[in-house]
Amino acid sequence: MQTPAPFGYERATSVDGAIASLQRLGPEARIIAGGHSLLPMMKLRLANPEHLIDINDLVELSYIREQDGEIRIGALTRHVALLKSELLARHFPVFADAETVIADPVVRNRGTIGGSLCQADAAEDLSAVCTAVKAKVVIRGAAGERVVGMEDFHVGPYQTAVGAGDVLTEVRLPLRPGSGSAHEKVERRAGDWAIAAASAAVWIAAGRITDVGIGLSAVGLTTIHLTRAEDLLRGQAPSEDLFAEAGAIAAADCSPGADGRGPIDYKRHLVGVLTHRALRRAAARAASQEA
C-alpha cells in the first residue's frame, strides 16, 4: 500500500484547541507534527487514525531558549533547528552529534522533537539523547500540565506518558556546570536508522564524575537507560579503564534482536564500543569546558 486510508483533518490554532479536539474526537484522533513517522505508518496502513489534528501552525511551540536554569525546547522545534542551535551546541553538543545523522535534510526540515519523543521508536535517536541529558518533558492535557522526567517517560514499546488526550509541549534540559555530552551511532549507510547508538552525558567537578546519563537506541524494545553503568561511574575519576568497564556493562545490559541490520553479538559489541567512546568524548568535552 502506498496511500493512507481516508481520514478527517483539522488545523489547530492553539494548544488548548488541539487538546479540546483530541478530547472531542476520541482515541482515533492523532496529533500530526512533522508527519515523518506518522505518514509512513499511515501509508503502510500500520496506523489508521480517523482524524488528524495538525499542529504545524502553532509557532508558539517552536523555540530553543534558556530560562530558569534550563534549556527549554518547544515540542514543534524541527530537527534542523536543533542541529543549528548555538545555545544547544554550547551546553549539549550531543544534540548536534545526533542531529547530524538523523535521517537526511529533507526529513530534518520537517520532523520535530515532540514527534520524535512521542513516536518512541526504540531506534530513534533523540530519546536516547534526552535520556542521557536527563531531560524533563512538559505534557498538557484537559486536566492541566505535568512535568515528567525521561526515566518515567517510556512506558512500553511505542508507548509514552503522553496520553490519548495529551499534547507534549516542551522539553526541558536542566543546566548544571561541568557538563559534557556526545552521541555516537552506527548506521548501515548515511541517512539510515541506527544499528545501535549511544548517548552519554557526564557532569564533572573536581576531577570526579558527579553525575552521568547514558541512553541507547535500537538495542531493545524501548530506548535503554543504562542505570547500572551510571551507578558504576558516579563518584569516580574519569579513566579509559572505567569507561571500558561501563562499555562492558552496556553490552550486557542491552537487549538487541537479530535482524537485517546485524546479529545480536555484533550489536552488543557495538554497544560496548560506542558507550565507551561516547563517554570518552563526553568527558573530554566536559574537561574542555572547565578549562
Partner 1 sequence: MSTTRTRTPLVRGRVGELMPRRDAEPKVTGAFAYSSDLEAEGMLFAVTVRSPHPHARIAAIDTAAAVATAGVHAVLTHADVPGRKTVGMHRADQPVLVVDVVRYQGEPVVIVAADDLETARRAAVLVVVTYEVLEPVADPERGEVLRDVRIRHGDQSLGADVVVSGSYEVGMQDQAFLGPESGLAIPDGDGGVDLHVATQWLHLDQEQICAALDLPPAKVRVHLAGVGGAFGGREDVSMQIHACLLALRTGRPVKMVYTREESFFGHVHRHPAWMRYEHGATPEGDLVYVRAEILLDGGAYASSSPAVVSNAACFAAGPYRVQRATIDARVVMTNNPPCGAMRGFGAVQVAVAHEAQMDLLAAALGIDPVDLRVRNALKTGDRMITGQVIDGPAPVRELLEGLRAMPLPLERGSLRADLRELPGGVANTTHGEGVRRGVGYAIGFKNMGFAEGFDDYSTARVRVSLVNGEPLVEVHTAACEVGQGLVTVLEQIARTELGFEHVVVLPADTTVGSAGSSSASRQTWMTGGAVKAACEAVRERLHELAADRSVEETVEHHHRPTFPLDPETGQGDAQVALCFAAHRAVCDVDTDLGLVRVVEIATTQDVGRIMNPAQCEGQIQGGIAQGLGLALMEEIKTENGLVRNPNFTDYLIPTILDMPPVRLAISETPHPDAPYGLNGVGEPPTIASTPAIAAALRAATGRPVTRVPVRPDDLI
Ligand X SMILES: Cc1cc2nc3c(=O)[nH]c(=O)nc-3n(C[C@H](O)[C@H](O)[C@H](O)COP(=O)(O)OP(=O)(O)OC[C@H]3O[C@@H](n4cnc5c(N)ncnc54)[C@H](O)[C@@H]3O)c2cc1C
Interface residue list for ligand X (CB under 6 A): 30-38, 40, 75, 102-103, 107, 111-112, 114-116, 118-119, 124-126, 162, 167-168, 193
Which one, 168 or 204, has the nearer CB to ligand X?
A: 168
Q: Which does 2 bind (CB under 5 to 8 A by kind): ligand X, partner 1, none?
A: partner 1
In angstroms, give the least distance from the CB of 214 to partner 1.
16
Which one, 186 or 202, has the nearer CB to ligand X?
A: 186
Judged by CB under 8 A, does residue 159 bind partner 1?
A: no
Cell reading at 44: 503502510
- Site mask, partner 1, residues 97-116, x = CB under 8 A? x--xx---------------
Stretch that binds partner 1, among 67-75, 152-160, 168-176, 191-199 (CB under 8 A): 191-199
Which one, 216 or 283, has the nearer CB to ligand X?
A: 216
Contacts to partner 1 by CB under 8 A: 2, 97, 100-101, 182-192, 195, 260, 262-263, 265-266, 269-270, 273-274, 277, 281
